[in-house]
Structure 1
Amino acid sequence: MTAFFLQWEIDQQNAMKTIKEFLQTQHVSRRALTAIKFSGGSICVNGIEQNVRYQLQASDILTIVFPPENPSNKLAGENIPLVIKYEDRDVLVVDKPAGMNTIPSREHPSGSLANAIIGYYEQIALQRAVHIVTRLDRQTSGLVLIAKHRYAHHLFSEMQKQQKIERIYEAFAKGVCKEKEGFIELPIGRKCDSIIEREVRSDGQYAATHYRVISQYADFCHLQLRLETGRTHQIRVHLSHIGHPLLGDELYDGPLDQIKRQALHCKELRFYHPFLHKHLTFCSALPADLSHI
């Protein structure tokens, strides 16, 4: 497949800017420019290669071709079915099942979503690295956003810093919630005696979670949750800390009698598409093991 490129027709507002100045307004990073210069990309104006000091004129056609991307040698493509909710030139939205790592780990070196994506790219003859924007824990199901090239990944990473990618979760948690909705604002850090487990701790990273009770049952509740931050295990840690661990979440003392994995699902994903210039929303139904609780 052809290399990824971007093209602009320069308007009067951007005339007299250098290429470097213009590309800064398009959030093309200094690192990307270095890669374009030294790793096989190109910058052309009206079909003629130019350097970044070239001064643009109105009606110029500026084309930048990004260097080719190569998947990591350590990440093998695997023929694993993907549930694709949306795909275009720049992004991929998939529905990840519970029991699948987002990326390989020491304990699970294969069978991850990243392996499946590389396998899919091989099928459609797309030579790209894997750029996962929103990760989910192994036993959490639901929607995942993937950028299909480095430039899209950079733009989405900037959006994440500004909390402009919104994920809505549904979960089932232990106990009776006294409040119908609430806001948990507690810092999260790694537990001292564990490489996996996190906990609320004063020297942790800022973390904020909104929750709302959808339904209350005798000894558990059905919740909707929205994150302002994306810390590792954030929902699991916050709910456990306030006395409502997720059903099935053995790591954080959740009961195991109704389900054997944490009862957490990323049900809705909302983001601004930086190339289509519009907001997109995707939804995923609760999987059978959660809908039958």
Structure 2
Amino acid sequence: MENTKLPVDNAALDAAYIENEPDEFITDMTDSHNGIDTADSCMKITLSVSADSDTSDAVGTRIDKFLSENLRDFSRSYLQTLIQDGNVTVNGKNVKSNYKLNAGDIIAIHVPEVKEQEIAAEDIPLDILYEDEDIIVVNKPKGMVVHPAAGHTSGTLVNALMYHCKDHLSGINGELRPGIVHRIDMNTTGVLVACKNDYAHRKIAEQLSVHSITRKYEAICYNAFREETGTVDAPIGRNPVDRKKMAIDKKNGRRAVTHYRVLENFKHFAHIECQLETGRTHQIRVHMASIGHPLLGDDTYTAAKPPYRLTGQTLHARVLGFIHPRTGQYVEFEAPLPDYFTKILADLQKKRH
């Protein structure tokens, strides 16, 4: 099978969410041209427009459009609210949403801290795979943020869990993240477990810390594979230039191991299964990109334009297995592939024949 290589580009921007890390929580958003300060009660982000008007694509762009394209963890409406409330300045002066950028502009964004009391229960439908007095296992849809953060104070999985479970959620991770023991990216779909009490939370967190939980994902990536199986054993750390992204960091990164298996090869793509031995931020996305197989739709780790209309990476958490905190028995849950994923597979299979 021809192993055609498509370009991998580490310049794109995206939201950074911790994936399966029980003890970490991102509090900063950044890009490759900004400074950041989180010492006060609000997050401060600084962006700059190139002083060379001939090479800068930002010149002449509305500021709300520019911010929404470069700070993808915030919705455009939220950024417009920040501008309206005076939390965005250009060269030290307040501007309106329709302000058009000039060469050399310095943009300062002040993002107010999310207050715990602002988080409310919301009647959002949940795809529940299993539930008992200790845990609830759900199939998270694409585009849903797991817990509230700046720019996402509603519509999150936590808001939905608070409505469904009422006061029966663990409190170990604080009021912003009740019940949350692990996370998956906003645009990753699939199975996730939340805990209804602190006892269950501790038991599952212990399993996460020793990497004993079964986590299998399915993905569609660029480029056919020569081998049927493989392992990527490469430490992952923050990208030194763009701390919103992750990168292979052999010096300071944390150990990260991903085992993969090819389910089906196509001419320019492959359908794969990935099993995590560890659970680092963006682990599958970074590891697959590092070996020349970035995920379809993942504009953070590839510049390739997908032939399908996608919102983020084609990645699905299919299987989650662990020792039940109460019974001591091994349990395993599976979330079926989402419709968009199966439609892409069907199209790739059709084009191959």
- Determine if the TM-score, normalized by the shorter chain, exceeds 0.5: yes
Q: CA deviation at 1:196?
A: 1.8
Q: Distance in 1 between matches of 2:309 and 2:286?
A: 18
Does residue 193 in structure 1 map to residue 241 in structure 2? Answer: yes
Q: Distance in 2 between matches of 1:289 and 1:179?
A: 27
Give the match for residue 117 of structure 1.
161
Residue 216 of structure 2 aligns with an amino acid whose one-letter code is: I
Q: Distance in 2 between matches of 1:281 and 1:133?
A: 17
Give the match for residue 83 of structure 2.
none
Residue 97 of structure 1 aligns with an amino acid whose one-letter code is: P
Give the match for residue 286 of structure 2.
237
The one-character-per-residue Cα deviations of 1:170-202 (angstroms, maximum 9, x if unpaired) are 000000111110000001011123232101112
Higher RCO structure, 1 or 2 (CA under 8 Å, sep 6+): 2
The question of whether the paired residues in 1 share the 8 Å contact of 2:169 and 2:196 is answered with no
Does residue 283 in structure 1 map to residue 331 in structure 2? Answer: no
Give the match for residue 306 of structure 2.
256
State the TM-score, normalized to the length of structure 2.
0.60
Q: CA deviation at 1:110?
A: 1.6
Does residue 160 in structure 1 map to residue 208 in structure 2? Answer: yes
- Greater share of strand residues, 1 or 2? 1
Q: Distance in 2 between matches of 1:208 and 1:74?
A: 38
Q: CA deviation at 1:78?
A: 1.1
Instruction: Kindly tell me the number of residue pairs found equivalent between the two proteins.
Output: 221
Once the two structures are aligned, what percentage of the paired residues are identical?
Answer: 39
Specify whether residues 232 and 246 from structure 1 end up closer, same or farther in structure 2 by C-alpha distance, changes over 3 A only: same
Q: CA deviation at 1:259?
A: 4.2
Q: CA deviation at 1:109?
A: 2.4
Indicate the RMSD between aligned Cα atoms, in angstroms: 1.7
Larger Rg: 1
Does residue 91 in structure 1 map to residue 141 in structure 2? Answer: no
1:59-78 matched pairs, under 5 angstroms:
72-78=116-122
Give the match for residue 152 of structure 2.
108
Does residue 149 in structure 1 map to residue 197 in structure 2? Answer: yes
Question: Tell me, what secondary structure is at the counterpart of 1:282?
Answer: strand
Which structure 2 residue ranges, 5 or more long, are not aligned?
1-115, 172-177, 345-353
Specify whether residues 259 and 175 from structure 1 end up closer, same or farther in structure 2 by C-alpha distance, changes over 3 A only: farther
Give the match for residue 135 of structure 1.
183
The question of whether the paired residues in 1 share the 8 Å contact of 2:235 and 2:253 is answered with yes
Q: CA deviation at 1:271?
A: 0.8
The question of whether the paired residues in 2 share the 8 Å contact of 1:176 and 1:221 is answered with yes
Specify whether residues 222 and 109 from structure 1 end up closer, same or farther in structure 2 by C-alpha distance, changes over 3 A only: same
Q: Distance in 2 between matches of 1:251 and 1:269?
A: 25
Does residue 211 in structure 1 map to residue 260 in structure 2? Answer: yes
State the TM-score, normalized to the length of structure 1.
0.72
The question of whether the paired residues in 1 share the 8 Å contact of 2:182 and 2:193 is answered with yes
**Comparing 210-219 with 257-266, which one deviates more in the overlay?**
257-266
Q: CA deviation at 1:127?
A: 6.6
Q: Distance in 2 between matches of 1:126 and 1:187?
A: 37
